[in-house]
Structure 1
Amino acid sequence: MIMFKKTLAAMFILIVGNELAAANDMVQTRSGEPSMQSIKGSFEVSMLPQQDNEFSVGRMTLDKQYQGPMDGNSKGQMLSFMSGVKGSAGYVAIEVFTGKIANKQGSVALQHFGRMDKGAQALTISIIPDSGTDQLTGISGSMEIEIVDGKHLYNLNYLIK
């Protein structure tokens, strides 16, 4: 019963999120400039380790499927390093998303910078400037990722000028 309620709640959030994202697409500030928008949804990711004999770092390819107001696929690569101290590591990644963001079609590149310092985590994901194409030209912003009960969730904060 609890799982059913969580599934129902997640479906409600995704449906309402889609409707709000479409409505929010038209929001402007009093000066007539578009304002920062925020959309939420989920994604699935598969990571495939790559062989790298030159360096003592981990390297993986990324393949993501985004659902919700950000609807499409993303491909990328990640480099990571784990130190000898438990809970200390870092990673960088670039992914290129192709699909729709709040019903606007195009591609955009995201840059990840993550680190752990003895278990304390920090993650920054930014939209790479001038990487938007088609209806996403002029997009800027950032993304937050949260993992809840094994499910990957995103919160994309963006502005299209």
Structure 2
Amino acid sequence: MTKFTIESWQESDICKESTNETTIRSATIKKHYIGVLQGNSITHYSLCYLPDGSAIFTGIEVFTGEYNNCNGQFALSHEGKFEKGEAKGSLTVVAGSGIGQLKTISGHAHFCAGEQSEHELHTSFTL
């Protein structure tokens, strides 16, 4: 298992629909990982906030560091939903995005993140 902390979160409006309070935003998130994954990442999200307070998000995360004692970099595609104070997401390694010793990495992961400062990422990766 891997744990991560969010080091920074910067979010801004892309557009806002005034008739139903739906807001489209972009966000850049920096994370730090410890565990099976050790390193740092930057994620770029597109988010659609709905009038009920929930949000749908998609994004790309670029991880740099170690996986199973192999160094390199790879990208993850994100898809998820924020609802009732929790973000739940599914991640997939972007095929062909691996660099260095992580050149052949593949697989998927998922997370559930709430108000706590440290979150769990459950991975199923292969090299």
Q: Does TM, normalized by the shorter one, top 0.5?
A: yes
String of CA shifts for 1:37-84, please: whole Å, max 9, x gaps. Answer: xxx121111343343455641211110110012100101211111112
Secondary structure (helix, strand or coil) at the match of 1:130 reads coil
Partners of 1:118 and 1:147 in 2: CA distance: 11
Distance 1:62 1:113, change over 3 A: same
- What 5-or-longer segments of structure 2 have no aligned partner? 17-22
Q: Which residue does the alignment assign to 1:59?
A: 26
Contact kept, 8 Å, 2:75 with 2:93, in 1: the verdict is yes
Aligned pair 1:146/2:112, yes or no?
yes
Aligned pairs, how many?
Answer: 120
Q: TM-score under structure 2 normalisation?
A: 0.79
Which structure 2 residues correspond to residues 12-23 of structure 1 after superposition, within 5 A? none
For residues 68 and 122 of structure 1, what CA distance do their matches in structure 2 show?
Answer: 20
More strand by share: 2
Displacement over 2 Å in runs of 4+: 46-56, 115-119, 146-149
Higher helix share: 1
Q: Which residue of 2 aligns with 1:83?
A: 50
**Alignment gaps of 5+ in structure 1:** 1-39
With the length of structure 1 as denominator, give the TM-score of the two structures.
Answer: 0.64
Which structure's CA Rg is the greater one? Answer: 1
Structure 1: how far apart are the matches of 2:25 and 2:10?
A: 7
State the identity as a percent: 28
Superposed displacement of residue 148, structure 1: 7.2
RMSD of the TM alignment (CA)?
Answer: 2.6
Letter in 1 for 2:76: L
**Residue 118 to residue 42, structure 1, CA distance change in 2 (3 Å):** closer
Give 2:66's aligned amino acid. Answer: K
Partner of 1:115: 81
